[in-house]
Amino acid sequence: MRPAHQWLRVVKPSAEPRTRIVCFPHAGGAASFYRAWGPSLPDGVELLAVRYPGREDRLLEPPARTMEALVAPVVAECLPLLDRPLAFFGHSMGASVAFEAARRLQEAHGARITALFVSGRSGPGRESVPEQSYATAPDRELVRHLKELGGTETAALDHPDLLELVLPAVRADYRIVEEYRADPAGAVLDVPVVAYYGDEDADTDAGSVAAWAPVTRASFTARAFEGGHFYLTDQQAGLLRDLLSRLGVPAAD
């Protein structure tokens, strides 16, 4: 029996997985964001999601303060999963975490994932810089921003008692996003990279998403879906069909 994970939650198990997908949540997000994907995946696909500290069942743990603090433990827990083809999917901040994790696997361990799927995030060097720091913004401004962006449980944002529990992790995530810069001397990946984005997302466009192309020696593809930053909520079926087809896995009936 595989040991329990601290950093990964098995969202959809598979007794004999043909492939595995590890999903990385957005800033302020949690593993449960990918729960809705499970029923849409075929039996041969095992789905896991990263459990960032400071939320859900890790609520009492201090949130990570640096990209390194997120990447290192996730990579350690992904190493035993490489007995099957393993792909990464990351949305927004999660795209950068997934990219750095793929880099670490290749550079430090000589291990390669089968594909890197990045979503809702401009490529290295083209990341959008917010006009103000949301890591240090007043609560009301941060809450307003989160509601406009979507993707975060609005129930928690409407209750002051819950905000005290939720916002520290959100601020820590935004600090990571605001301070992160991809190391230009870091490993160039040897795996296909696919970039998804919403055609109405104010933070990404075809040009900024194309900046992911130089991170790999293999193929690069970009695809837009209708919608904003959280296009993947409304476009889940189409996104999963596209993702699975690129992994050579038939979609569930």
Using the predicted structure, report yes or no on whether residue 161 has a pLDDT greater than 80: no
Strands 45-50, 8-12: pairing is antiparallel
Which fold, 8-128+184-246? Answer: Rossmann fold (3.40.50)
Using the predicted structure, report yes or no on whether residue 1 has a pLDDT greater than 50: no
Mean of all residue pLDDT scores within the chain: 92
* Cβ atoms within 10 Å, residue 112: 17
9 Cβ partners below 8 Å, 6+ apart? 31, 48, 49, 50, 51
Q: How far apart are CA 71 and CA 103, in angstroms?
A: 10
pLDDT in tens, 4-33: 579 999 999 999 999 999 999 999 999 999
Residues taking part in catalysis: 92, 229
Rounded to 10 deg, the angle between the 160-179 and 93-109 helix axes is 50
pLDDT in tens, 47-106: 999 999 999 999 999 999 999 999 999 999 999 999 999 999 999 999 999 999 999 999
The domain segmentation of the chain, as residue ranges, is: 8-128+184-246
Using the predicted structure, report yes or no on whether residue 3 has a pLDDT greater than 60: no
Amino acid at 245: S
Quote the strand ranges of 75-151, DSSP E.
Answer: 86-91, 115-119
